[in-house]
Structure 1
Amino acid sequence: MATTVAVPPDTSQDPDTAALIDAGTLSRPHRTRVPLPRWLRRLAGPALVVAVWQLLGTLGQINPRILATPSQVAVAAWQLTSDGELGTNLLASLQRVVVGLAIGVSAGVLLAVLAGLFRLGEELIDSTMQVVRALPVLGLLPLVIIWFGVGEQPKIALVVFAAACPVYINTYAGIRGVDNRLVESGRVVGLGRLGLIRHVVLPGAVPGFLVGLRFALTSAWLVIIIAEQLNATSGIGYLMNQAQAWYRTDIIVLGLLIYGLLGLLADSLVRLLERRLLVWRHGFNGA
């Protein structure tokens, strides 16, 4: 019994058909995709959480005295903004965090440079900082109040302490983590001690500093939440503490959202610095 084998048509003699096949014009037409901006895709997750949260509140599954709905939080934000109370307290919190970060980050960088570049500095500073960073920040609150009273100084002091330690640890690790082959290459091309520090060591420590700065920003906002709820007359933490007495969960949630948004904004600023200062580094961006 003869077997019939289907033989595809020979297109080797037809250059036009072969060109069409190679170009993919005979294949199935593809759809044109319109890519969404990355920031919009990143908002999809939080937006879904807010939608579910609002739905559960509308259906009565969440007691508003326990957790206010997003719409109630929005109404509270509008009321506090209209009478100026929100802006005044937000400005007070920002001032405390900015001053504390300026002092803490500067102190952390200075100590890290001294400990990272000089052996004597390492022996005098590093062991002390390792002990200090193990201390609980909020555990120092009673002692800080005794030292500075109940005004602005204890709140700023706690932010300084919370910011200085992560900046020191990561900057110091960045300095000591510079590849020694780069240092040797710098010596080969004629760089002296100051030239090595300026062109090799300090630029190589920038990634570590930025990691420390990111942790410092987060720690500063965490600390100021507690500091402003004790012996304070202004600030977002003070506003939340006052709302607790009246079971105003809408204001409490609003304060938490403000802290979260400020932390996200601060992290975005650090990411911008990374893109500007680390243009020479190409890392993995995800598959």
Structure 2
Amino acid sequence: MRRTDEAWLAERWADDSTQVLVLAGTRLRPVDGLPQWVRPAESPDGTRVLLGHTDGVTRFAVIAHPDSVPGRREEWVGVRALFPRLISSDPALATQVPWLFHAIGLAEWHWSTRFCPRCGGRLRSTHAGHELTCEGCGKPQFPRTDPAVIMAVTLGEPGSDEEKILLGRAPSWPPGRFSTLAGFCEPGETLEDAVRREVLEETGVRVGEVAYFGNQPWPLPGSLMLGFTARALSEQIVVDGDELAEAHWFTRADLRGETERGIAVPSGISISSSLMESWLGEPLADGW
């Protein structure tokens, strides 16, 4: 594999066409709201991570210590700050997302995984940043991805004007901001049962049929969002008050902005938006 081909890696790093995304820990320094790719000679010292080689161009990320990068600290931002530009209608910008998510996911893992869980020894980056090997016992560590379910729970005759979708608001969100429900899968649990458990725990609504919809990597810090549609068996809502501050049933007219129930919903880059748009049957209005 290329990740262990030191000669090839050195050759690609020396090539002036190679592009490098510089990260200060887990943060980056955008230009006009977009990721900034530089040449290898322009990047600082840090952990070098191979992102891939496509159409003759090799891409790396360099994970540098925040104190070793140029510019003011406030110029380096989390990846969420780039979402407004990345969800624009320009298809060229959409191609940035996989590279960006790959880099951020590995940076989050490197930043949080400092010592060997077996012996407490120091870890050394190997395999072009995709493994961490203990300098004491030699045990390798691999990037961690936590499975999480995210679901569009509906009630009523499918496709009818009376059909409703269940959306919730987290306690930290401002009033009026809602999204589909989500939660992490527990050990020994099927994904379908995770959907049923999370909905029941957070809203008191019982769920029956569950169907797979799609998935999305979400390296914030290290999740794989597994999307589902689900049919509710009950209507009464009793929020837990911990994960959710409130939850309600919304009609298609509500999501189109045709009623007085003004709400803000995710847009563009999130699978939550895709779940809602699939149910709505059309693009969502501008969201957050």
TM-score range, shorter chain: under 0.3
| The structure with more helix, counted as a fraction of residues | 1
Q: Which has the larger radius of gyration?
A: 1
| The structure with more strand, counted as a fraction of residues | 2
